[in-house]
Amino acid sequence: MGSITISGIGAYVPEKKITNFDLEKTVDTSNEWILERTGIAERRQVADNESSSTMGAAAANEALISANLLAENIDLIITATCSPDGMFPSTANRIQSIIGAKKAVCFDVNSACNGFLTALAIANGLLDNKNYKKALIIGSETLTRLVDWQDRNTCILFGDGAGAVVIEHSDNKSDLLGVLFGSDGTQGDLLFATGPASIKNSLIEDAKIIMDGPNVFKNAVNFMTSIAKELLIKTGKSIDDISLCIPHQANERILNAVASNLSLDKNRVFNNIKNLGNTSAASIPIALHAAYYSNRLKKGDTLLFTAFGAGLNWGSALINWNEIKNPKE
């Protein structure tokens, strides 16, 4: 592993809320059914003038303040998103322009809900060669623009938001203790978004999320659990060493099943899905931000991240948490 430290965090979620009661009016569902199946009560939706880049920029700016840095100090921006503003330029380049990070090299990564961990690992490798010193890692998603609002199996799940961290090269022991990933493209049809052209090459007007819910659920539980266990073995850690697990916020039943499989008490698994829904690549940095500001983190804590997403892609990371500046104090 390279040697990096997390020096700042930020997050942004839109103001508009879509509640389960709102969805009751448009599809055949109920608040009780959604809560029982997913644990989600509401999700956020971008305004017309918001996008993955504007939300990512807002989260990035808070992370910069937290790290006591200016945008011009950043020399690398990696944005994880599967809902970019457009095909190109990259969302990272758009964020660079908004925040004024003139010196930064910018690009996006897309491994869906596993994207933030992928971006973190890539940045770790780039900072390790010392060509880059300070990086913004951003997860930002506008999934409500991909949702089929007539499909009750998917429209209940997804929301919009962004989270960001600043990482810096460190000459001391690294905060990133290990990362591990897996992929299975043969099962990509379990969860995907169509268009702008379908696999039959017939143009479609809008992209839509399509999901095989039962099989996604089964794979998410299995892969999030197995990759976390494998990483613990490779890093010489045990589940007793984990202070807090911050999983991808996919579905509360998935979180509970992963916690059970890892023999983790629920009070050691962070859960903020109720009011935000599934924000894909943004969910782990948003949850990290929420955990920090709810005083769930202290210096020296060992954090376990684990995620699963379309691809299929999955991954896990172990973090040694250090103190960072609280810009709200």
278 is catalytic: yes
Given 248, 251, 289, 313, the catalytic residue = 248
219 is catalytic: no
Given 20, 114, 278, 313, the catalytic residue = 278
Q: Helix 213-234 and helix 252-261: axis angle, to 10°?
A: 40
113 is catalytic: yes
Given 106, 113, 155, 245, the catalytic residue = 113
**Which positions are annotated as active-site residues?**
113, 248, 278
